[in-house]
Chains A and B, each alone.
Chain A
Amino acid sequence: MPGLGTSFGRGGATTAQQDLSNADVILIMGSSMAENHPVGFQWVIEARERGAKIIHVDPRFNRTSAMADIWVPLRAGSDILFLGGLINYVLTNNSEFREYVVHYTNAPTILREDFRDTEDLDGLFSGWDQEKQKYDPDSWLYKGAPTRDGGGPQPGHSEAGGGHGKDRGGEAQDAARFEWDTSLQHPRCVFQVLKRHFSRYTPEMVERYCGVSKEVFLKAAEAFTSASGPEKTAAICYAVGWTQHSKGVQIIRAAAILQLLLGNIGRPGGGILALRGHASIQGSTDIPTLYDILPGYLPMPFFEADANKFADYIKKHKARTGLWSGFDKYFISLMKAWYGEGATSENNFGFSWLPRVTGDHSHFGYWLDMQDGKMEGLFVMGQNPAVGAPNARLQRTALSKLKWLVVRDMVEIETASFWLDSPEVQRGELSPESIGTEVFLFPAAGTAEKEGTFTNTQRLLQYREMAVEPPGDARSETWFMYHLGRRLKQRAKDDTRPRNAGLNALTWNYPVEGKHAEPKVSEVLKEINGWTVADHKQLQNIQDLKNDGSTACGAWIYCGVFPEEGRNRANERKPKDLLGHGWGFAWPNDCRIIYNRASARPDGKPWSERKKLVWWDEEKKEWGGLDNADYPKNLSPDTPDDLAKGQGVEALGGARPFTLHPDGVGWIYVASGLKDGPLPTHYEPLESLLSNPLYKQQTDPAAQKKERPDNPYAQSPADPRFPYVLTTYRLTEHHTAGGMTRTLSHLSELQPELFTEVSPELAQEAGLEHGDWATITTPRAIIEARVLITRRMRSLWVDGRRLHQVGLPYHWGYKGRSKGDVVNDLLAISEEPNVRIMETKALVCNIEPGRRNERQQRKESEERAAI
């Protein structure tokens, strides 16, 4: 999550769901929290009942809007314009929390003279390389920071890597050197640059291009910005309604800027809550299933650039000040956990054994390779791409090019049966006889049938025990991966080729138990927590990690979860306060609200009695309060910083709360670490009905369309064939691609069929009948759905004309009790520049009455007639 990572330091929600009940205002945008996080939503209701105002911004009036005080419908894809409008509202009304902004953000920092804003270059920042289609971010750095020419480290803007790595750019490690103006008046200080950057994001602009009337915008803006200052806080909740855009990271950045200006980070009732869509999605980036990072957001080394240059790799990522000054400790401890005695200082702790990133190995990167016949085999676990991934038709077709496919799931999901009953087979484009893919379907254990942890939306590790044995041959993921690894190691053990050196060196000796030889998951968690190599004692916290190979730790951020033999903190279940201390373990160091040093004034006293959280205890000479301090415990607030020469976190002094940043402050302006600019800028979706009203640059310049014949796009702007905006979403009753819910009668009956939500105005214009069928078309596909005409969908006035939006929940597929067309067939594969996510929330479509086959036949006969 580089949106949060670059802004604050860590790619995780800054607060806990329980803490929402402390908020005075909650803005929910890019999420239907009541529908998709109904259990966590109790804290929003709790806040509301305590008097907080709930604002929901969403193209649709959904179950979250139904619980909110203010609903703001907007044009899908215009989020940055809306949030920029809020930022501009704060700046023009001088309603920022000035003392917080001056001390805890980089607003006073002065930028280089050669930096050019999008206002100067019509939608581009300085450094755009038209030929390479990417930014050189040198000119974005702070004035005074060393550049590459000055022998500084290499930036992290490689073409291949995503932005997950360490959630910051390597070249920003010297951001500790800067000049600043605490009066915020210098024309090139971040604050003034920000003012200028958003000066055209006015309420009038929002009205005209978001479709939000000025009156409604001001109502929401006043409500939201009122919760700022020492006595009040506001929280923001978002989900993939922000992430899944061609500029998703920058939408989250805009929220981060807003919260930093209002002084709402690190304080109770404040923060940004990234709502994760699955039980352990946070966990799957912490201990990643991503190709470009290692556990704890350590960047994966690159082919060539990091060939065997261990020292350079460390130098590139180790900062002098802040928590990343321990980069070598985190990395070497990881190598010790993985390679044990094999990792020595002589062999650079096994650095050369790590695989290297050679290109775009993200889901879409390798799926397009698969489609082009460049891949032999694939494991699919916990995923159903035949339904759940964009351009699902291409996803399924690509599967037919594999030699072998392993699917592990609780039921035979669409991905496992694509060769038999996919729409391609039904249409005769593929036939089972001609598909060479050998499919292996492995039964997987369900949640209650295995032991382990979830890391939930608020960085909270929760342990669960096995309730029942899995049936038949079903096994846990841990069992599968452990025994697969064991067998691979067995096969490779006498093979001395260099390619096997890493595999042979890998420690893979977890004890097993039970009749199925299930590995002991608690042993894995103990390794993740880390231990001393010499006497195998569990580590207490991150500060215990060493860079000399004397400690082993599977993920530095999780250190402390298993601090002593027999004490699994993830499995502790005695909550003793509102924030839930005593229940589970939140990384880092069981801080429930991170950056919480910011909840106290620079002098260490709480901003106010009402909003106190962590403060300096003069008697004990330590940070204490209602949460564990996300700060060195004994670093007193009056400790002066030593940014110019100091080392480590201590160099930040006593009043710089964002300890992962080399300058210790929150980044309103991201000097390095993002591929599409230091400030969020409004760009239109890749497929849009409108020209970008603000700049010549239509779309995010660094976003990749991956356009090709099997992944075509509509003309943009305004393709006459596709006159409506399309947005996709989830319903409470089903889970993502439906593998776990469309198979259950009690959930299928609640939402038994795919439907499309349209406004009465659109229904009239397109001739749709309620309850009847509609056909929805994009350049990728044609699908059918039942028509639900509802006033909860609104046609908006945008740029002087009526704009209609079509809503489609995406859960259905061709298996299960409840079946329907695959909505993701309509979407394109595209890549947001930083995390390579696709755009699902704003595209264009056409909608017509009638069923798919009639439409298709009519279209074909029209085409024949035209010939």
Chain B
Amino acid sequence: MAITAFLTDSTLCIGCKACEVACKEWNGVGEDGLNWSGYSYDNTGAVGHSTWRHVKFVECAPEPGFGGNAPELNSWSFSSDVCKHCENAGCLEACPTGALVRTEFGGVYLQPDVCNGCAYCVVACPFGVVQRNPDDGRAFKCTFCYDRQKAGLIPACAKACPTESIKFGEIESLRRKATERMQELQRRGMRDATFYDASDSSVGGTHAMFIVRGDPRTYNLPPKPEVPTTYLKKAWTSSAIAAGLLLAGSVIAFLSENRSNGR
């Protein structure tokens, strides 16, 4: 079974939100609520329990004579965010019930029928992807269209994308594509093009990679995502030292009391 991934190229994204809608239609995800945000053309906010694909709209000031594809000026970008399906997935490591599992495609799948709603995964996700549904308390996130992949289909979002901004395929070939694309964008003078993979962080790479213009942080992509469990050893060591110190303190206190009693 091939290890798969998404490569989302925001330089090709037209902000049509077909991925958001296709995701919801395929997965039967409900409405977020009819709230006009006033934040550009984005009224669904961020990835969450009821939005598994989310198109972020980043507005900068355009100038006459320059379209959004002008290398000189980044003016209005759209980028479709999604669960990163980390190699070292914080959510998966934190899950006490085994609801979160790694699939044969390399993605992280959340089994809603096993989830007990403890929300450990919510705080353990370095990207803020997993969220509990307030109605029943269970956590929900992108399934990587596990059912579609099992059936040999590509995920609904990638299928619906009209401009191939969302690419889906075998992870290594996508990495190569990303490298080629980055070279092409650099050649065109788009010096602010950035490839985001997070392979040099503690998440150890993701199954959702991005090409964006400018600082990835603008698109909710943290520069150094960290899996909370990387601190596990340090945390256990500190706890052990603290426990030891406490114990030692108690013993000392006890002994010294004995001494004073004996006086």
A residues sitting closer than 8 Å to B (CB atoms) are 34-35, 38-39, 41-42, 45, 48-49, 54-56, 61, 63, 65-73, 212-213, 215-216, 219-220, 731-733, 745-753, 755, 770-771, 786-788, 790-792, 794, 817-818
Contacts and interface: CB of A to CB of B under 8 A. Distances in A.
A212 B63 CA distance: 12
Contact of A38 (B12, B18, B20, B31): B18
5 contacts: A42-B163, A71-B62, A216-B65, A749-B31, A817-B34
A790 B62 CA distance: 10
B78 interface: yes
B133 to A, nearest CB: 16
B138 interface: no
Given A216-B65, A748-B31, 10 more contacts: A35-B14, A38-B14, A39-B162, A55-B67, A63-B15, A66-B76, A70-B67, A751-B43, A752-B36, A790-B40
Given A71-B67, A750-B44, A755 B36 contact: yes
B38 interface: yes
Interface in B9-58: 12, 14-18, 20-21, 24-25, 30-36, 38, 40-41, 43-44
A642 B100 CA distance: 80
A749 B34 contact: yes
A72 B14 CA distance: 18
Nearest to A216: B65
B162 to A, nearest CB: 5
A705 B60 CA distance: 40
Nearest to A212: B64
B62 A791 contact: yes
A66 B162 CA distance: 16
Contact of B31 (A746, A751, A770, A787): A746
Contacts of A72: 64-65
Given A38-B14, A818-B34, A66 B61 contact: no
Contacts of A34: 14-16
B67 A66 contact: yes
Nearest to B62: A61
Contacts of B43: 749-752
Interface in B162-196: 162-164
B250 to A, nearest CB: 58
Shortest Cβ-Cβ A-B pairs, 3 listed: A68-B67, A66-B68, A752-B34
Contacts of B240: none
B65 A215 contact: yes
A65 B62 contact: yes
Contacts, number: 136
A34 B67 CA distance: 13
A627 to B, nearest CB: 25
A732 B15 contact: yes
Contact of A753 (B15, B18, B34): B34
Contacts of A70: 65-67, 70
B4 interface: no
Contact of A749 (B33, B62, B65): B33
Nearest to B63: A71
B147 interface: no
Contacts of B162: 38-39, 41-42
Most buried by A among B18, B67, B163: B67
A217 to B, nearest CB: 9
Secondary structure at the B interface, as helix, strand, loop or mixed, is loop
A794 to B, nearest CB: 7
Nearest to B66: A71
A54 B69 contact: yes
Given A41-B162, A42-B164, A752 B35 contact: yes
Given A41-B163, A752-B34, A65 B68 contact: yes
Contacts of B17: 732-733, 750
Nearest to A733: B17
A52 to B, nearest CB: 11
Contacts of A38: 14, 16, 18, 162-163
Q: Name, among B20, B30, B66, B75, the residue most crowded by chain A CB atoms within 10 Å (CB to CB).
A: B66
A70 B76 CA distance: 13
A66 B78 contact: yes
A748 B34 contact: yes
A207 to B, nearest CB: 11
A149 B25 CA distance: 67
A747 B22 CA distance: 11
B34 to A, nearest CB: 4
B24 A66 contact: no
Contacts of B77: 66
Nearest to B60: A791
B17 to A, nearest CB: 6
A49 B30 CA distance: 36
A792 B21 contact: no
Contacts of A212: 64
A41 B164 CA distance: 11
A34 B34 CA distance: 24
A501 B260 CA distance: 126
Nearest to B42: A750
A219 B65 contact: yes
B65 A54 contact: no
A417 to B, nearest CB: 20
Contact of A63 (B14, B60, B164): B14
B257 interface: no
Given A751-B41, A755-B36, A68 B21 contact: no
B51 to A, nearest CB: 9
B104 interface: no
Contacts of B24: 746
A791 B59 CA distance: 8
Nearest to A789: B38
B127 to A, nearest CB: 22
Interface string B55-97: 0000111101111111000011110000000000000000000
Contacts of A216: 64-65
Nearest to A220: B65
A757 to B, nearest CB: 10
B76 A792 contact: yes
B44 A749 contact: yes
